[in-house]
Amino acid sequence: MLFELLLKMSPVRTVGPLIASVLLTVVAGGANAATLDPKVMEHAIQYLSVLRGKAVPAEGEEWLQQRWLDESSYAPKRVARQIDHLAVLFEQHQDKKDKLALANSRAEFLKNIYCTAAQSSDPDTASLRDLLAPDELVLAADCALGLVVTRFDVEGLVASHALVATAVGHHHDQEREVEITTAQIKDWFPDAALAEKELLARAEIRHAVLARFWSRINGTREQQALIDAIRSQAKADIKEPAREIENLAISKLGDVDYLAKVGDDVLKAPMIASYVEFLERIAGNVLSSRDRAWLQDVFLKVFQKDPKKALTELNNVQSLNRDYHASSAADVRAKMDQDWAIRLHCHFTSSGDPDEQQLAVMLFSHDPVTFSDCDSMQIKRKSQTILAEAKGQMLTEGDIGDALRFASIMLGRPLLPEEESIVRSDSMRSFDRSVDKWSENQTFYRAFLGEIDQRQDSHFLTMNKRKELFDAIYCNLKSSNEPFSDDYIRMFQRHEAIQFEDCERVRVTTKDEIEAFVSVLDFLSLINGKPPLSQAAIAELLTTIDSRDLNRAESMRLALDEWWSLLSLEEKVTAIKSMREQGITPDADAETIGSFFNHVERMVVVLNARNKSCETLAVTIQGMTALYAAGLGPNGVTANSPSGLPGEQLAGLVSATNAARAICKGVYGG
């Protein structure tokens, strides 16, 4: 069986669809534009056709392909990866025809395309909306709340009505209801209750969930009981029963859904994600969408052949991941991953299984094995390769990797091949000239990168630090006579990234900061019901604005995005009302806007704490349930308890549960 060795020792982790991200960035290209695989681009555009419900016209294909080629001159690896992601989604859709996956992708895609255009006066963004989210497809929208209603939502709403009507023997004119509802949407939507808006904006997804749930319980007593309950209400109108069954399907689909089933054994998508997490740690790299799709297909094949063995393997890897996260010591976690890298490499070298050979390439291509002695269970990977030694210090490929990652973060983009060569040569020169200075730099890189890794839920804090370093490093380079200084300056200035500089005050303004600042003002326009800034207004603004107002622009944009994503719809409505009352508008003075963003940054920290506390509550309650199931009561160990857990430990769990509940319901009002 595939991955046999792992039985001695994991859902595919979904990465949020990047469908709109590559489409929404247009960068001037040139002769250096990278060559993209025509077949991959064709599949990517075919998926866009699936999402919009009809083929992208020929002129639209040409327009998209040119934008991708332009962007690839700036960030070739990123563009290739994102286009391949679209292509993989198309191939999966062709293979599986998963309507729920399609509904989720389509809703996110059309919302991003349509609402990005609503917040921008950029003509290319408008062209993208007209091409992929035209008015005949998007029927109504409230972009401040992130609610977009499409023709597919109306069809989904009516399809749920038809499904329930058919189940209970009622006649339903599906085509007529679609026609009537579509005609009424534009007038009805603006004044509708918030809950009604939300339901309609998610109608295609809700129907896809209901259809999947209905198919999973087909022919069961549960389905018959639901049909009998609807009939007993004796209503000619099945709209309300349809909504109730949709709600039931949403709450229970996870219990009955699966990727595959053999007898009583089921393979669920969440099971494979833990496996991918484990493999990514071994690889030292995030697996591509294509790799994840391949892994899922392989596990489906393995599960069909021997379901119990496959589930045992998945459960064992989940246990490994729990042990990994339970350890707070970085060196212990690194040792765990190294041990498994050795075992997997040595297993693969003697395996003739073609799937295992492909997995070996997947795991060890990013950081290849350069030496192995499987008799003594030792390997060395490229990152451990020693490039130079002096004063008891070693310069390794891993050190070069840290420097490359730091440079990429500073520039806010992936490095080009020639830029990677500059960083590599400079690192080796620095080590040769002064080991002590090199060691200082390396310690700084690792501390900064570690801080970034620990702040996954507060990216704006990282951006604040990055901005401070960016200005200082750039201005130091401008006054430096060190080798490679001019090369680094060109890296900073590439693609007209630097717009203004004032190194006397250590202040640099970048194109990304200007775009972020304009984006913030456009969002405030949207909140206040105003149109986005015109291109002429933006040009005038840039002649008068103080660079201090731009200094936090990127972190402001990140904080604003994160804050808005953490709010519920009801909380967004309250926030919009408050912002309007306080005069948080695009033309508010700098002090007012600055004070508002200080509040936003504080709220991001608070809301993330709320989410973590509520997650802790859920896990704690799950543990409590298991303890009670094992025979434990609220006062400690009962006579028939098999575990012998001391009463004070159970009391501690009760206390933790009560504390988490207090945080979620009391402090945060959740």
pLDDT in tens, 88-140: 999 999 998 999 999 999 999 999 999 999 988 888 889 999 999 998 999 99
Radius of gyration of the chain (CA): 28
**68-82, 332-346, 616-630: least confidently modelled range:** 616-630
The answer to whether residue 578 scores a pLDDT higher than 60 is: yes
Say if strands 636-637 and 498-502 run parallel, antiparallel, or are unpaired.
unpaired
pLDDT band of 236, cuts 50, 70, 90: low
The answer to whether residue 207 scores a pLDDT higher than 60 is: yes
> What does the pLDDT average to over 276-295?
91
Residue 140 pairs in a beta bridge with 149
Return the number of other C-beta atoms located less than 10 Å from residue 657's C-beta: 17
Rounded Cα–Cα distance for residues 499 and 514 (Å):
9
Rounded Cα–Cα distance for residues 111 and 117 (Å):
10
> What does the pLDDT average to over 411-433?
92
Rounded Cα–Cα distance for residues 286 and 643 (Å):
40
Return the number of other C-beta atoms located less than 10 Å from residue 602's C-beta: 12
Q: Over the range 175-204, which residues count as b (16 or more CB within 10 Å of their CB) and which as e?
A: eebbeebbeebeeebeeeeeeebbbbbbbb
Please answer whether residues 53 and 108 qualify as being in contact, where contact means their C-beta atoms are separated by less than 8 angstroms: no
DSSP of 6-65, one letter per residue? GGG---PPP----TTTTTT------TTPPPPPHHHHHHHHHHHHHHHTSPPPHHHHHHHH
Looking at this protein, which amino acid is placed at residue 503?
Answer: C
The answer to whether residue 323 scores a pLDDT higher than 50 is: yes
Q: pTM of this prediction?
A: 0.81
Q: What is the pLDDT of residue 617?
A: 63
pLDDT band of 342, cuts 50, 70, 90: very high
Q: What is the pLDDT of residue 304?
A: 94
Please answer whether residues 423 and 415 qualify as being in contact, where contact means their C-beta atoms are separated by less than 8 angstroms: yes
Q: What is the pLDDT of residue 650?
A: 54
> What does the pLDDT average to over 212-232?
90
Rounded Cα–Cα distance for residues 384 and 367 (Å):
9
3-state secondary structure of 187: helix
pLDDT band of 626, cuts 50, 70, 90: low
- The candidate with the shortest Cα–Cα distance to 156, out of 214, 199, 97, 111, is 199
Q: What is the pLDDT of residue 194?
A: 94
